[in-house]
A and B are shown apart, each in its own frame.
Chain A
C-alpha cells in the first residue's frame, strides 16, 4: 500500500493512518472470495470521523464489495470491520440493526422500493422506527427533498424519476435518520456531467451541514477529487494508495498514473 507521503508497500497489520483520532470505520485484513475469484486480498483501511474518503479503482475491482462489507451486507472470508469500536464480523443479521442505524448507504441504482412513492420511500426508515404522525413525517420528507433540491416530487413513483433523481431520493432515505456515516456506491455512475456535479456538491454539502463521515466508492476521478479529503486506490484486492488528492496527483507510481490518465496498457503505447 502506498501511504501519503508516497512510501513502499506496508506489511499487513502496520498502522494505516498517521494520527491517533478514533476511526469511524476500521477495516483490517479483509479477504473475500466470490466463486474462484479473489475479490479482496487483505484490505486495511481506516476512515476517521467526519472525513470524506473516496475509494477509487477499476470496475470490477471489489470497491462495491468492500462497501457492502462495511454495513454487513456481505460476510468476509476473513478479517475484521470495526464500526465505532465494535467489530461487526460474526454479528447476526438482527444484531446488525443497531450498526445499520449508524451507517446509511446509497446504492448504485438508488434501490428505491418501486411499489412506494417518493414520500413513502423517504419516510420508510422513520415509519419503521415507529414514527406515526403524518404531519411530522411529511414535514421531514419535505425538508429532505429541499436539501436534495427536489421540492414537490413527493407523490411521484420511482419509475418516473431520472437516474439522478433516484439517487437523490435514495440518499434522502439513507440520511433521514441522520446516521453518523454515509456510504456512497458509485454516486455519479451513469449520470451526465452536470447532474454528476450536482450530486458531488450535494455530498459535500451534507458533509458540511450534518458533519457526516462519508465513504464514496467511484471510478469517476473528477468526483473523487471534488468530494474527498482523502483518496484510497484499491488495486488487485488491496489498498495500493492512501493519501490526499494532491498526493495522488503528484504520485509518480506508474499504476496510479495509468489510472489517473485512463491508460489501458501499463503506460505503454
Chain B
C-alpha cells in the first residue's frame, strides 16, 4: 500500500509542480503586461507568425471540416426529410465546437511546437542567460509578445475557420447534394444565434491562452541539449492538445449554464 502511494505520489507531485509553474508564468506575464512597456515590434512579428502564417492551415481545416460535416449531416437528415436543416447544424456545430477545437489543435501543432522549440533552443544555447545577463527579463521579451499576439490572433483565426467552414458546407450542399439554397440559408440564419459565435470566440481566446503558456513554459524549462528541445516540443504539443480537449468540455458545460439549452 505504501509502495502504491509512493509510486502515485511522485508523478502527482510533478504534475502539481508543473501546474504551479504554469500559474506562476501566467501571473508573471500578466503583471508584466500591466507594468512594463510592450515591445511592439516583437508583438507584431508574433501576430504575423501566429495569425498570418497560419492562414493556409486554418482555411484548409475549416473548408474540409465544413464540407464533410455538411455531407454527413445531409446523409443522415435526408432520411428524415430534413435536408434543408443541414445549414443550421453545420453552422451551429462549427461555431460552438468544431472550429474552436480544430483550429486550436492545428495552432498547437504549428505555432505551439515552434514556440517551445525556439525558446527551448535559446535556453540550451545560453541565449536566455544572455538576455538575463543583458538585464532583459525573458518573460517580458519572449512570453509577453507571444501571449498578446495569441490573444489577438486566435479569435480571428477561429472566426475565419467558421466562415470558411460555413461557405464550404454551403457549396457542398448546393452543388453536390442538391439542397435548396434558400431553405439552407434561411434555416442557418434562423438557428444560428449570436451566443453561438460568442461561445466559439470565447473558447478560441481560452484555448489560445492555454497553448501559448504551455508552449512557452515547456520552452523555458528545457534542459539537456537537442534531445531536451525535442522532448519539450513534443510535450508542448501533446499537453496543449490535451488541455484544449479537456478544457473544451468544461467550457461547454459552463456556457450551458450561461446560455441554457433550449433558451432562445
Docked pose: A78 CA to B121 CA in angstroms: 30
Interface size of A by Cβ–Cβ distance < 8 Å? 26
Q: Could you tell me if A114 and B133 are in contact, using CB atoms closer than 8 angstroms?
A: no
Whether B133 contacts A73 by the Cβ 8 Å rule is yes
CB pair A111 B125 closer than 8 Å: yes
B60 proximal to A (CB < 8 A): no
Cβ of A118 under 8 Å from chain B: no
Q: How far is the CB of A121 from chain B (nearest CB, A)?
A: 9
Contact for A100 among B121, B125, B135, CB less than 8 A? B135
**Is A105 interfacial (CB 8 A cutoff)?**
yes
Residues of chain A within 8 A of B130, CB atoms compared: 107, 111-113, 170, 173
Give how many A-B residue pairs fall within 8 Å (CB-CB). 51
In the complex, the chain A residue whose C-beta lies closest to that of B36 is: A94
> What residues on A are CB-neighbors of B125 within 8 Å?
109, 111, 114
Decide: A111 and B137 in contact? CB cutoff 8 A: no
Are B126 and A101 neighbours in the complex by a CB distance under 8 Å?
no
- Residues of the A chain whose Cβ atoms lie less than 8 Å from the Cβ of B133: 71, 73, 100, 104-105, 107, 174
For B137, what are the chain A residues with a Cβ–Cβ distance below 8 Å? 93-94, 97
CB < 8 Å neighbour of B134 from A68, A114, A124 = A124
Q: Does A6 contact B (CB under 8 A)?
A: no
Indicate whether A19 reaches chain B with its CB closer than 8 angstroms: no
B127 partner, pick from A72, A73, A113, beta carbons under 8 A: A113
The answer to whether the Cβ of B193 comes within 8 Å of any Cβ in the partner chain is no
Tell me whether A79 is interfacial, beta carbon within 8 Å: no
Q: Does A125 make an interface contact (CB < 8 A)? A: yes
CB 8 Å contact bits of B126-157 with A (1 = contact, 0 = none):
11011011111100000000000000000000
Asked whether any CB of chain B lies closer than 8 Å to the CB of A128, the reply is yes
List A132-184 residues whose CB lies under 8 Å from chain B. 170, 173-174
The CA of A72 and the CA of B127, in the complex, are separated in Å by 15
A93 to B25, CA, bound (A): 14
Q: Are B134 and A128 in contact (CB under 8 A)?
A: yes
Residues in A90-125 with C-beta less than 8 Å from chain B? 93-94, 96-98, 100-101, 104-105, 107-109, 111-114, 124-125
Return the chain A residue nearest B28 by Cβ: A93
Least distance between B74 CB and chain A CB atoms (Å): 49
Q: Which of A44-85 contact B (CB under 8 A)?
A: 68, 71-73
A107 neighbours in B (Cβ, 8 Å): 126, 129-130, 133
Contact yes or no, B127 A114, CB < 8 A:
yes
Q: What residues of A have a CB within 8 angstroms of the CB of B134 in the complex? A: 100, 124-125, 128, 173
Q: How far is the CA of A105 from the CA of B126 in the complex (A)?
A: 12
- CB of B237, distance to nearest CB on chain A (Å): 22
Name the A residues within 8 Å of B135 (CB-CB).
96-98, 100-101, 125, 128
Across-interface contacts of A125 in B (CB, < 8 A): 134-135
CB-CB < 8 A to A112: which residues of B? Answer: 127, 130
Q: For window 89-140 of chain B, which residues contact chain A by CB distance below 8 Å?
A: 121-122, 125-127, 129-130, 132-137
Known: A108-B126, A124-B134, A170-B130. 12 other contacts (CB 8 A): A73-B132, A97-B135, A98-B135, A100-B133, A101-B135, A107-B130, A112-B127, A113-B127, A114-B125, A114-B127, A128-B135, A174-B133
* 7 sampled A-B residue pairs with Cβ under 8 A: A100-B132, A109-B126, A111-B129, A111-B130, A113-B122, A170-B130, A174-B133
Residues of A within 8 A of B (CB): 68, 71-73, 93-94, 96-98, 100-101, 104-105, 107-109, 111-114, 124-125, 128, 170, 173-174
